[in-house]
Amino acid sequence: MIEKLLENTIVQAVQALFEQTIEPARAVVQKTRKDFEGDYTLAVFPFVRFARRSPEETARIIGEYLQLHLQWVAGFNVIKGFLNITISDQYWLGYFREHQAEAAFGFMPQSGGPTTVVEYSSPNTNKPLHLGHIRNNLLGFSVARILSANGKTVKKVNLVNDRGIHICKSMLAWQRWGGGETPESTGIKGDHLVGKYYVKFDQEYRIQVAELVAAGIKPDDAEKQAPLICEAQDMLLRWEAHDEEVMSLWKMMNGWVYEGFDVTYKTMGVDFDKTYFESETYLHGKRLVEEGMQSGAFEREADGSVWIDLTAEGFDRKLLLRADGTSVYMTQDLGTAQMRYDEYNPEKLIYVVGNEQNYHFDVLKLVLRNLGRPWSDTIHHLSYGMVELPEGKMKSREGKVVDADDLMEEMFETARAMTMELGKTEGFSDEEAEALFRMIGLGALKYFILKVDPKKNMLFNPRESIDFNGNTGPFIQYTYARIRSVLRKAGDSEKFAADILPSLLPKERS
RNA sequence: GGCCUCGUAGCUCAGCUGGAUAGAGCAGCAGCCUUCUAAGCUGCGGGUCGCGCGUUCGAAUCGCGCCGAGGUCACCA
């Protein structure tokens, strides 16, 4: 690339002119700001001390050196201490000729090197995917593709949280109030049907808690004593004891959810190489806890619970195993990390997980290090901020969410309406038009989500957030379509590069 | 309270490994469809880059201290 060439030559120039050896990092050029003439700019202020010249003079003699030694430097100008370098049109035309026919321009060949594991999505099976999952999925899928485009061997993995008290809540509510409803009998998508009963549970539970509080019980106690929550906990115990009735209900309802998720993922355009289920992996961490007990990294309380003391590292004491011997979240993540290490021996393990779990991942890495796992450093938590609504946080228990399926459907409808209004589908078959609406609607959504810094919280205003004009996905798609159109009209690309491109350049540069 | 993150135009966001007069889009106003696609283009107005101190030739960018917002410090995941 021309930047690298410029920078190397600047290092040479400084050596030759001022007898000073500098780090290549000190000779970085940047793109010239658009209101100045030139293509690349070097700020020479750091050199003036040993150049023993004014900034202007320093810039001028470096510019002369570059022009003399690099054939592609067509000229330069100096403003204050800024050296603006102009690259010749021949270079750009040559560059274009060289690369314009490359189908894989910008992509590195697959290296076949060590694997990078990217975990994303990680849904619970008690409710459908929402806007937060959209941000998660798009980030994870994009990062995987970017890594892959850089030649990395990438494995996209999903860890489905298919067990736990929240699943039991949906199950219990369906059992009690469902009346035998199924996705088939209602025409409701499986994940939505299950989510409906999760909301139902919460509504009924709140009523019970309110009644207990009215009867004079303290709110904290009421939340623990409400019959519904006790029943849900009982159901979880029966699940863990492999109670046949609970297991078959669990399998049936999870099956509905998976069918629903598959549709959502497909619509969104994301996929996975492998899916882990917590019900199958949640016991794996216990072996590591045993190991830590033996090595003395962990300690056991009188009640039998196991802890790690991280106060020396500036963290807290953290529970790793309950008194009854059951796993907690951290135990599971220790286990799955070890599984992935054993399976892929990855050079990097990326977790796309919301920033409310920053602390959890700091601790996870630290616990693994204390267990003598040097690969704990290969874990990277790709932490992203919450998607907020104008009225505040989304609350799925209260049904206060932007549903992923609904949102995508709205995007497609908006795309359809705008496209039809602009008359863009002339000569399209119904299938082509439908594919176009989806492409544009999804492009708008993806770009809207991905253009903001992952680590920042972002605001989503359902009414006005997603636009098709301005700095949007459809604008980029439109620009691409026009470029394709130009190329089509230009006929064969050789002819285009030779005859037509120069005429498209600004006059003063051709 | 401890720790972490964020604070840039009316709104949503770029810029943050230090560089020139801080940029886009939306919203507002004024123009532009017989050239390749107007989902576009051109122009105008709009800023104490939360506040203060420091480092530096130079700070939106780095450091420290305040203020404000969010997260977290669960035998939830």
Q: Which nucleotide is nearest to A319 (CA to C1')?
A: B75
Report which residue is nearest nucleotide B69 when distances run from CA to C1'.
A457
Nucleotide lying nearest to A164, CA to C1' measure: B77
A394 CA vs B29 C1’ separation (Å): 38
- Between A448 and A34, the higher pLDDT residue: A448
In whole angstroms, B14 C1' to A194 CA is: 40
Any idea which residue has 């990326």 for tokens? A350
Q: What is the spatial distance, in angstroms and rounded to an integer, between the CA atom of A34 and the C1' atom of B43?
A: 18
pLDDT tens digits, one per residue of A306-363:
999 998 888 889 999 998 888 899 999 999 999 999 999 999 999 999 999 999 999 9
Mean per-residue pLDDT over chain A, rounded: 90
The Cα A465–Cα A114 span in angstroms is 40
Nucleotide nearest A314 (Cα, C1'): B3
Helices (H), A215-243: 219-225, 227-240
Where residue A505 falls among pLDDT bands split at 50, 70, 90? Answer: very low
Q: Estimate in Å the CA A86 to C1' B20 gap, whole number.
A: 17
Residue A86 DSSP code: E
Q: Is the pLDDT of residue A509 over 60?
A: no
Is A469 a residue whose pLDDT tops 70? yes
Distance A459 CA to B76 C1' (A): 26
For the entire predicted model, the pTM comes to: 0.92
> Residues 6 or more apart from A415 whose CB is under 8 A from it?
A436, A437, A438, A440, A441, A444, A468, A474
**Nearest-CA residue relative to C1' of B27:** A464
Give, in Å, how far the C1' of B72 lies from the CA of A386: 14
Burial A239-259 (b: 16+ CB within 10 A, else e): beeeeeebeebbeebbebbbe
Q: Which nucleotides of B are covered by protein (CB under 7 A)?
A: 2-7, 11-16, 19-21, 23-27, 36-40, 57-58, 70-77
* Å separating the CA of residue A97 from the C1' of nucleotide B31: 38
Report which of residues A240 and A171 the model is more confident about.
A171
CA of A45 to C1' of B20 (A): 12
Q: Which residues contact A65 (CB under 8 A, 6 or more apart)?
A: A9, A12, A13, A16, A17
Residue A384 confidence (pLDDT)? 96
Q: Specify the pLDDT at position A106.
A: 85
Q: Which nucleotide is nearest to A470 (CA to C1')?
A: B25
Res. A102 pLDDT band, cuts 50 70 90: confident
Q: What's the complex ipTM?
A: 0.94
Q: C1' nearest to CA of A124: which nucleotide?
A: B77
C-alpha–C-alpha distance, residues A459 and A387, integer Å: 6
pLDDT in tens, A178-219: 999 999 999 999 999 999 999 999 999 999 999 999 999 988
| Separation in Å: B70 C1' and A157 CA | 29
pLDDT band at A499 (very low <50, low <70, confident <90, very high): low
Answer with the residue of higher pLDDT: A89 or A446. Answer: A446
pLDDT in tens, A23-75: 887 888 988 887 788 889 999 999 998 899 999 999 999 999 999 999 999 99
pLDDT reported for residue A437:
95
Q: What is the pLDDT of residues A366-414, one digit of tens each?
A: 999 999 999 999 999 999 999 998 887 878 777 778 999 999 999 999 9
Residue nearest to nucleotide B24 (CA to C1'): A471
Local structure of A448: helix, strand or coil = helix
pLDDT score, position A466 = 84
Closest nucleotide to the alpha carbon of A307, via C1':
B75
